[in-house]
Amino acid sequence: MSEQAHFLRREKEAVTIQRRKVQGEAGSSVEPLQLGKRVREIRLGRNLTLEEASNLTGLARSTLSKIENEQISPTFTAMTKLANGLGIDIPQLFSPAIPETQASGRRDITRKGQGKLHPTATYDHELLAAELSGKRMIPYRATIRARTFEDYPDWVRHEGEEFMLVLSGKVCLFTEFYQPVELEEGDSAYYDAAMGHVVTSLSDEDATILWVTA
Amino acid sequence: MSEQAHFLRREKEAVTIQRRKVQGEAGSSVEPLQLGKRVREIRLGRNLTLEEASNLTGLARSTLSKIENEQISPTFTAMTKLANGLGIDIPQLFSPAIPETQASGRRDITRKGQGKLHPTATYDHELLAAELSGKRMIPYRATIRARTFEDYPDWVRHEGEEFMLVLSGKVCLFTEFYQPVELEEGDSAYYDAAMGHVVTSLSDEDATILWVTA
DNA sequence: ACAAAAAGTTTCCTATAAGAAACTTTTTTA
DNA sequence: TAAAAAAGTTTCTTATAGGAAACTTTTTGT
């Protein structure tokens, strides 16, 4: 159902790619949630063949085909395999499909170092995508000053979930109920933000972190 | 998200953080999804008998019993009926059971390169925080192969919003309704995922991107 | 405690999901 | 183009889910 991504397509290859969609409309009205359609989108989005998807999920090629064509209603077991194998977000499969027409279109690009700044005592916050309001996620880059160990703050707590990725340096993540962990460049963490949390620097240089809050 | 303002505290509070519950490194193993147990909890929580639940969901009393006793793996259809009839939160059913002791918060650490891999033709997906399901955000690191310009896939579209940050290399972000943009290391973008989008590499080496979907 | 009713489980049968392999269609290669 | 390969679909079979009703256990009322 996706349109074709015409623009940057290079001639001969282009044709190849156009051919992908247009499977039977298969208007199975039984399931208002077009599970199969979505699974297919996800698989194709990852450029996988049924064969490859089969290997990843442990489900038979034919089974996948039938799921995608809405010929069967997969079991919980099958769906779990799907989710684990393809990295599918299950909740999404249970929500109503997005009408094509509703394709809205907000976009905001933030260049390196061009975010909106919020300097504070220990962290520096650089808000990304600050132009867009009403976002589901709030991304920002934080700079953790070197060795702020002694005077780091109390637990931070707030609604939602938080993801962080260490971009440089070495930090220590403290979260309530868990052991502190050291995180280096490339390491990431995901946690409930209602749980107390705090990050401190462990390196001689400042550490930078990408943070996304939902 | 009011997480600022906590930094001003000092010394004496520092102690606070030392004492936190000792708890093994979380969520690293795949726990059995105790679907049935959870369904039962929910039903009983609502003070419903199987008979009543049956009326609400349209599933047979016996079927419900078997689901709760983990004797069968319900189909997508059945799960939808369950969810609609009992107001069950599907994501929860797919998350590993949370031990009581850590009920107050979930956390998942993913080390660099240790995420769950999803190799595909053009991108490599490394799922982060893969142990946690039912998340509001799905973070992953993608490797965009060098010059995959010609054979990238069709528009990708899905529900939600997406944030991306270029970790290395140089890529081109195509989004429907907008001009393509070149993004280099440190640049980021935020957009509605229902809008067609695709990323290709522009550099000689592979590019890596952090992606977060909500 | 006893019956009766209600709640829950199991059995048995039918419908349907899952897998293997045959078959069809699409894409690639020469 | 034709032939081969790859991708996808369908068929056939087996395993298992879903529903009706019998059966068992628990609760309620006297």
Give the CATH number, domain containing residue B47.
Answer: 1.10.260.40
Return the minimum-mean-pLDDT range out of B16-20, B47-51, B86-90, B117-121: B16-20
Place of tokens 């190849």: A16
Domain check: are A33 and A65 in the same one? yes
Helix axes B76-86, B35-45, angle to 10 degrees: 20
Which residues on B lie below 8 Å from A108 (Cβ)?
Answer: 189-191
What are the pLDDT digits (tens) for A42-84?
A: 888 788 889 989 999 999 999 999 999 889 999 999 998 998 8
- Which residue, A69, A102, A135, sits at the end of a domain? A102
Domain check: are A48 and A137 in the same one? no
Q: Alpha carbon of B164 to those of A117, A214, B11, B199, B210: distances in Å?
A: 19, 15, 37, 10, 5
Of B2, B80, B189, which is closest to A33 when you measure between CB atoms? B80
Residue A62 has what pLDDT?
93
Alpha-carbon Rg for chain A, nearest whole angstrom, is 22
Burial class (CB in 10 A: 0-12, 13-18, 19+), B129: buried
Q: Which residue has the higher pLDDT, A39 or B28?
A: A39
- Which residue, B98, B129, B151, sits at the end of a domain? B98
A11 touches B at CB < 8 Å: no
Specify the 3-state DSSP secondary structure of A104: coil
Domain check: are B124 and B205 in the same one? yes
The whole-angstrom separation of Cα B127 and Cα B193 is 18
Q: How many domains does chain B have?
A: 2
Mean pLDDT of A191-195: 80
* Domain-located, residue B29: no
B195 touches A at CB < 8 Å: yes
Domain check: are A120 and A200 in the same one? yes
Residue A104 has what pLDDT?
55
* Domain-located, residue A4: no
Domain check: are A25 and A89 in the same one? yes
Domain check: are B134 and B170 in the same one? yes
Q: Which domain does B72 fall in, by range?
A: 35-98
B186 touches A at CB < 8 Å: yes
* Domain-located, residue B21: no
B160 touches A at CB < 8 Å: yes
pLDDT value at A142 more than 60: yes
Distance from CA of A46 to the nearest CA of B (A): 6
Please report the residues numbered 66 through 95 in chain B whose beta carbons come closer than 8 angstroms to any beta carbon of chain A: 73-80, 83, 90-91, 93-94
* Domain-located, residue B78: yes
pLDDT value at A9 more than 70: no
Q: Tell me the pLDDT band of B184, cut-offs 50, 70 and 90.
A: confident
Domain check: are A120 and A85 in the same one? no
* Domain-located, residue A132: yes
Which residues on B lie below 8 Å from A75 (Cβ)?
Answer: 73-76
* Domain-located, residue A171: yes
Residue B120 has what pLDDT?
60
Alpha carbons within 13 angstroms on the beta-carbon side of residue B91 total 12
Q: Tell me the pLDDT band of B6, cut-offs 50, 70 and 90.
A: very low
Task: Write out the H or E segment, with its range, that includes residue A167.
Answer: strand A161-168
Residue B210 has what pLDDT?
92
CB contact under 8 A, B151 and A73: no
Task: Write out the H or E segment, with its range, that includes residue A55.
Answer: helix A50-57
Q: Å between A73 CA and D18 C1'? A: 13
Instruction: Please name the nucleotide lying closest to B60, CA to C1'.
Output: D19
The whole-angstrom separation of Cα B189 and Cα B211 is 10
Which residues on B lie below 8 Å from A21 (Cβ)?
Answer: 154
Give the CATH number, domain containing residue A130.
Answer: 2.60.120.10
Provide φ and ψ at B161, rounded to 5°: -125, 160
Neighbour-count burial for B133-158, b at 16+ CB within 10 Å, e otherwise: bbbbbbbbbbbbbbebbebbbbbbbb
Domain check: are B131 and B203 in the same one? yes
The whole-angstrom separation of Cα A161 and Cα A157 is 10
- Nearest CA to B7 among A156, A147, A80, A193? A156
A195 touches B at CB < 8 Å: yes
Contacts of residue A152, Cβ cutoff 8 Å, sequence gap at least 6: A122, A198, A200, B7, B14, B17
Residue B23 has what pLDDT?
28
Q: Alpha carbon of B132 to those of A183, B28, B108: distances in Å?
A: 18, 9, 7
Provide φ and ψ at A24, rounded to 5°: -50, 140
Distance from CA of B63 to the nearest CA of A (A): 14
Distance from CA of B49 to the nearest CA of A (A): 23
Q: Å between A66 CA and C28 C1'? A: 26
Q: What is the mean pLDDT of chain B?
A: 72
Distance from CA of B43 to the nearest CA of A (A): 18
Instruction: Please name the nucleotide lying closest to A73, CA to C1'.
Output: C17
pLDDT value at A12 more than 80: no
CB contact under 8 A, A191 and B17: no
The whole-angstrom separation of Cα A17 and Cα B181 is 22
The reply to whether B84 Cβ lies less than 7 angstroms from strand D is no
Domain check: are B130 and B208 in the same one? yes
CB contact under 8 A, B176 and A3: yes
Return the minimum-mean-pLDDT range out of A34-43, A71-80, B24-33: B24-33
Domain check: are B92 and B135 in the same one? no
Residue B157 has what pLDDT?
74
Domain check: are B125 and B94 in the same one? no
CB atoms within 10 A of CB B96: 17
Residue A119 has what pLDDT?
55
* Domain-located, residue A139: yes
Which residues on B lie below 8 Å from A153 (Cβ)?
Answer: 6-9, 13
- Which residue, A102, A129, A148, sits at the end of a domain? A102
Q: Which residue has the higher pLDDT, B199 or B105?
A: B199
Domain check: are B90 and B141 in the same one? no
* Domain-located, residue A23: yes
- With a pLDDT cut of 90, the percent of chain B lying above it is 11
Q: Tell me the pLDDT band of A107, cut-offs 50, 70 and 90.
A: confident
Instruction: Please name the nucleotide lying closest to A63, CA to C1'.
Output: C18
CB contact under 8 A, A137 and B102: no
Return the minimum-mean-pLDDT range out of A75-79, A115-119, B94-98: B94-98
